[in-house]
Amino acid sequence: MAWFKRKEKGITTPTEDKKDIPKGLWYKSPTGKIVESEELAKNLWISPEDDYHVRIGSKEYFEILFDDNKFKELFGSITSKDPLKFVDTKKYSDRLKEAKDKTKLKDAVRVAVGKSKGADLVVACMDFAFIGGSMGSVVGEKIARGIDHSIKHNIPFMMISKSGGARMMEAAYSLMQMAKTSAKLAQLADAKIPYISLCTDPTTGGTTASYAMLGDINIAEPGALIGFAGPRIVKDTTGKDLPEGFQTSEFLLEHGFLDFVVHRKQLKNKVNLYIDLVLNRPIR
């Protein structure tokens, strides 16, 4: 019976010899479903158990939208400064350095141009991992330059929003980006170039109040949180209980704020179908 009973007492394994489970092997969705990370990536980061759309960044969206993941990143060297010398619990300059080191990104948006179903497309995609996808001066500048590139080369423009709103560490510099990007989108409209706005989880604050809702067609992923202020603020301001599912993409679709909700697996086809239709060219 020695096989089943420990004869020696006090047997311990040194800490340095203990084997930890590597991080990132499994993903648990908000509904409690567990899926292997590798399987999740193969399924475009959608939980196969409950169809939950996992939050992803520009790297993954570029893989989905661009043919063979081939694209040219535009304005990739632009980085944020700290003109206000802002300090809260830590210096803004330190926060920027930490975000860059952690995410390997320069700021909260990347702009790229490439072929999508064989035709050119400019895509500006936000990254929530970089200071909550907050909209600072660099975010506004890169989006504006991306729109300029679309106008110059007559290429449709797509914006993928994923943001907590304005970047408080840049104060008025951040808020100015709402007017700046909106003005650029007006120029894009004057040039009769299509603009597709995709709202993903979450799209809030100044982002929602500006470019995220100014598309020729406004679309969203299933279950995305979309709104200006959070539910608690809205409730305190209006003094009313909020309806169930308030600020989800499905609720906004039902109330006319969105044109349609698109499943991530259909995103590339749906976007290019709309572009072909609005430009009155053969369907690809």
Instruction: Based on the fold, state whether residues 150 and 248 are members of the same structural domain.
Output: yes
Instruction: Based on the fold, state whether residues 105 and 227 are members of the same structural domain.
Output: yes
Instruction: Based on the fold, state whether residues 41 and 154 are members of the same structural domain.
Output: no
Q: Which residue has the tokens 């969206």?
A: 61
- CA-to-CA dists, residue 148 to 135, 141, 190, angstroms: 19, 10, 12
pLDDT at 109: 98
Report the Cα 277 to chain-centroid distance in Å.
26
On the question of pLDDT at 19 being above 80, the answer is no
Instruction: Based on the fold, state whether residues 215 and 247 are members of the same structural domain.
Output: yes
Rounded Cα gap, residues 75 and 77, in angstroms: 6
Instruction: Based on the fold, state whether residues 216 and 243 are members of the same structural domain.
Output: yes
Instruction: Count CB neighbours of 269 within 10 A.
Output: 13
Phi, psi for 224 (deg, rounded to 5): -70, 145
CATH code where residue 67 lies: 3.90.226.10
Domain assignment present for residue 166? The answer is yes
Domain assignment present for residue 119? The answer is yes
Instruction: Based on the fold, state whether residues 35 and 155 are members of the same structural domain.
Output: no
First-to-final CA distance of the chain: 71
On the question of pLDDT at 280 being above 60, the answer is yes
Instruction: Based on the fold, state whether residues 21 and 131 are members of the same structural domain.
Output: no
- Which structural domain, as residue segments, surrounds residue 29? 16-54
Q: Give the mean pLDDT of 232-257.
A: 89
What 8-state DSSP symbol labels residue 17? G
In the chain, the number of structural domains is 2
DSSP 49-95: TT--B----HHHHHHHHSGGG-EEEESTT-----TT--BSSSBHHHH
pLDDT digits (tens, 9 = 90+) for 58-88: 999 999 999 999 999 999 999 999 999 999 9
pTM value is 0.88
